[in-house]
Amino acid sequence: MQINVGGFAMTFPSGVLLRKGLRGTCVAVLLHRFDEWMLQDADGTLFIDAYPLYFSWLGEKLCRLKHGWVDEIKIFDAVQPIPFYHGIFFAESPIAIDKPTEDSESQSAFNSFIAMMGMFIKSSAVRGGRGGAEVLSVTVDGRTVATTDATLADFDTLNDRFTKYGRTPIVDVSAHHFDLQAPRQPPQAT
């Protein structure tokens, strides 16, 4: 499966997520059940507004698992934000990967999944989807950086770099503009 994570396009071994023990993870359910609800980049590739190196790391771990080189995916002294994103994507999904029959899935379980993964689902796809409406990208020092309009909504100056000046390559940008460890979190229950 081709995915674009934060502007980095890659082939991702999503089929490995269908194995027993992995099919119940949020990332498996997101990619295999709700792929039609996810944003796509300009090339039609599924877009995930997350840290690209986490998905590179995870893809490598899934390949090792697929070929029998390891028996499970473990985090050994990984630097942040890998454990952070692993906690989000490898959390146990409250709903199954298979599409439900009428009585097999409660509305509260579905709402719980949307609360967990809604930031990766188009805002227009379902109530609770917070992923925005479009993928925006810029070129920074020769590399593509992409995010969503929903992520940029609270950042005027950074939003302008992606919208007003998005076609102009950026050659000098302060590192504090790209806080890759802090994705949009779901609203806290009150």
User: Which of the 8 DSSP states describes residue 118?
Assistant: G
* pLDDT of 42 over the 50 cut: yes
Number of domains in the chain: 1
Q: What is the per-residue pLDDT across 52-65, written as a single tens digit (0 to 9) for each?
A: 999 999 999 999 99
CATH number of the CATH domain containing 76:
3.30.710
Distances (CA, A) of 146 to 9, 12, 104, 188: 10, 18, 37, 26
> What CA–CA distance (Å, rounded) separates 99 from 61?
27
User: What pLDDT does residue 98 have?
Assistant: 85
Task: Indicate whether 124 belongs to any domain.
Answer: no
Task: Indicate whether 144 belongs to any domain.
Answer: no
Task: Indicate whether 122 belongs to any domain.
Answer: no
Residues in the chain: 190
Containing domain of residue 45, as a range?
A: 2-98
User: What pLDDT does residue 189 have?
Assistant: 46
Task: Select the more confidently predicted residue: 149 or 155.
Answer: 149
Task: Indicate whether 123 belongs to any domain.
Answer: no
* pLDDT of 158 over the 50 cut: yes
Task: Indicate whether 21 belongs to any domain.
Answer: yes
Task: Indicate whether 45 belongs to any domain.
Answer: yes
What one-letter code names the amino acid at 114? I
- From first CA to last CA, the distance across the chain in angstroms is 38
